[in-house]
Every structure is written in C-alpha cells, then in structure tokens.
Structure 1
Amino acid sequence: MPRWKPDSRQRLVVAALGLFAEQGYDDTTVAQISERAGLTRSTFFRHFADKREILTAGQKALSRLLAEGIDTAPADATPMMAVAAGLERASGEMTSFNRELGPLLRAAIEANEELRNREALKSIGMAAAMVDALKRRDVAEPAAQVAAEIGVLAFKRGYARWADPARDEDPGELVTHTRAAFDELRAAAAELH
C-alpha cells in the first residue's frame, strides 16, 4: 500500500479535474481518480466524502480567509473597505497551484449541470461568510449583502483573469487582479445612482 504523502489532497484534486475535463464528471469514478493520483481509494476518502466534494475543496478555507480579512480590517473601515481587506487576505493566500487549477475547473464545471449548481452554492457560501463578518462589524443586513456580493463578483472576475491560460504575460499575483476587479465594480456601482 502506498504511503500517505503530504501532497495527496492536491494530487487527488488535479487527477479528478483532469478526468472530469477528459471524460466528463458522470463517467469519472473515485477508483479512476485514485489511480491517476497514484493513491488508494482509502486515501481518497480520507480527504473527500465523494467526488463532488473535490469541487468545493477550498471553499471553507476561502470563506474563512475572506471573513478573517473583514474581521481584521481597521475599525473605521467602511463596509466596502472591509470587503477589500477580505479580498486582499484571501487572494494573498492563493498560489500557482490554485492558478493552474482554473482552466481544469472551468472545463469541468461548464460540462456538467450539477457542477454548475455546486459552483453557484460556493458563491453563496462565500457571500454568506462575508455578510456574517460584516454584521459582526455592525453593518446593516442590506449593506452587508450588497458589499459581499460585490466582493464575490470581484474575486471571481479577478481569479478568472489571473487563471486565464490565454494570457501571454506573467499574471503576477491574484491580489492585483481582485483589487482591479473590485475597483471596477465599485466604479460601476457608483454609476447606478
């Protein structure tokens, strides 16, 4: 039996997303994912309850990081400034591994309705974590919800730009892209009234 390696979770994620993109989510089994990753099924189940969970593997960590950034923003920060701090915190933790997963994840999600639904739930979870953090700062529910939704959209837009394989130049850090997306969305929101 292979020894449980520290990077087994990442190996399973890469193997699963590759198989989802190649043969479809429905036609991919846990056994195939484990085999491609060079691991056992029992190792798979140490990390994930099922193959669906792979797509939300980083959701809890991402939501936690967004909330931590909001929680640690200066006391006098506006709700939007606090969300910007959350985006900075979460984006700053993303590595080249997260960037490389982008195209694989996008291909898998676009090919399967269940995965598109799970992706929507991931966005809802991110927004909920930010709303809760903003409410701890005594931000009213409507303002917290609007700020959080802009934050989710900024993160998704920034991540899409950062992970775009068609970009010729060095993508730099994710935080640069989420910051730019957030600024664009704030400017767009200002034009609405």
Structure 2
Amino acid sequence: MARWEPNARVRLVRAALDLFAEQGYDATTVKEIADRAGLTKTTFFRHFPDKREVLFAGQDLHTRLLAEAIAEAPDRATPLEAVGAALDAVTAAFTEDRREFSAALRPVIAGHSELQERSALKRAKLAEAMTGALHERGVPEPAASLAAEIGLRAFDRAFEQWADPAGREALTDLTRRAFDELRAAMAALDQGRPAPRGERTPTA
C-alpha cells in the first residue's frame, strides 16, 4: 500500500533540512529523507532529482512570480517600478511560517560549496527572469540587467534581516526599504559635481 502523500513536497523539504542540520548534508541520504518524511524514495524522486534540489524547491515559483509581475506592471511604470512590483509579488510568498525554515537553511548552504554554487545559480536564474521580462517591455541593455540586479541586491539585504527568528517585520516591508535605499544611493551618485577639467580635486 502506498504511503499517505498529501503535501509530500513540503514534508520532504522539512525532513531534509532537519536531517542536514542534525547530521550534516554529506552524511544524509535520500532514503533517510524519505523515511523521515514518512514517504518512499520513489516519491522523493517524483519531486526532486537529488537531495541538493530539495533546498531550492521554490525556484520555479519565484521565477514565475517575478516575470509575471514585471509583465503585468502598468505600461507607464519605469523599469525600477516594474522591478519593485516584482519584489512585492515574490516576497508575499515568504509567509511568517517560513522564517524559521529560512533561518535554518542559511547555515546549511553556507557550509557546503556545492550548495553555494547552486544558490548562485538560482540567483542568476532569478536575474535572468527579471531581465527577460524587462526586455519584453522594451527596456534595453544595460538598463534591464541593472534594474534586475538592483532588485536582487535589495532582496538579498532584506532576506538576511528577515531570516532572523527574532525578527518581526515582514519580508515585503524590509525589501521595499532596502530597494528604496539602493535607488536613493544610485541617485546620489550623480549629484556630486566633478572638478573642472584640468583641475585636481583637493585632498586632505
């Protein structure tokens, strides 16, 4: 008789993270993950190709949310406004019950180069999704990729704060603040007046 499988994907993710934290990523097998989740190895491989991918289960959803939000932004929206809408859409998926999970995930990834490489690939895919969606809106390069990178930098900064179990602010609010700060910093870069040509800027 097949084992009970509702929410199998979520159960596998939580089981994997628990085992990685308890005994280490390298020492954990797919069978152990399936057993901890109360499922079979066959069920595991229906959801994930290997144990590494368990920790990046949300990539497809996040990629879709970012691209769709940019595509659906008002025609009058600037590239950064479209990216801001995308950040709102993706951060809404990080509900409060995921904060503790995300806090536990960070040290597991930080402790393994293989997982760090996979995390970098996920980030690149998210940037690619936003850049492509901006291209579809007619945003040229390098503006499209720069807007996407600013958005991801804001998300990264906010996520570091949010993934603290003691935190209380929503990821959406933290990301909006980080995004506004980066936009302000970019604007400030053009506000300084360069020294006239042929003159040297005084030094202390």
TM-score tier (shorter) = over 0.9
Quick one: distance in 1 between partners of 2:40 and 2:97?
22
Q: Tell me the distance in 2 between the aligned counterparts of 1:155 and 1:49.
A: 27
Unaligned runs of 5+ in 2: 191-204
Q: Secondary structure at the match of 1:141?
A: coil
Q: Choose 128-137 or 28-37, whichever is displaced more.
A: 28-37
1:75 Cα deviation after fit:
0.2
- 1:137 has 2:137 as partner: yes
Q: Tell me the amino acid that sits aligned with residue 106 of structure 1.
A: R
145-154 or 1-10: bigger deviation? 1-10
Distance 1:42 1:97 in 2: 28
Q: Does structure 2 conserve the Cα–Cα contact (< 8 Å) formed by 1:70 and 1:130?
A: yes
**Larger mean Cα displacement after TM superposition, 90-99 or 32-41:** 90-99
Aligned partners of 1:127, 1:34: CA distance in 2, in Å? 32
* Corresponding position of 1:32: 32
Q: CA deviation at 1:96?
A: 2.8
1:100-141 deviation digits (Å, cap 9, x = unpaired): 321121011011010011111111000000000000010012
RMSD over equivalenced CA pairs, Å: 1.4
- Give the letter for the 2:56 counterpart: T
More helix by share: 1
Bigger mean CA offset, 39-48 vs 18-27: 18-27
Count of residues in correspondence between the two structures: 190
Q: Once superposed, which parts of structure 1, at least 4 consecutive aligned residues long, lie more than 6 Å away?
A: none
**Identity across the alignment (%):** 56
Matched with 2:122 is 122
TM-score by length of 1: 0.92
- Displacement after TM superposition at 1:37 (Å): 1.2
Residue in 2 that maps onto 1:61: 61
User: Is the partner of 1:191 in helix, strand or coil?
Assistant: helix
TM-score by length of 2: 0.87
1:183 match: secondary structure: helix
Larger Rg: 2
Segment of structure 1 superposing worse, 100-109 or 62-71: 100-109
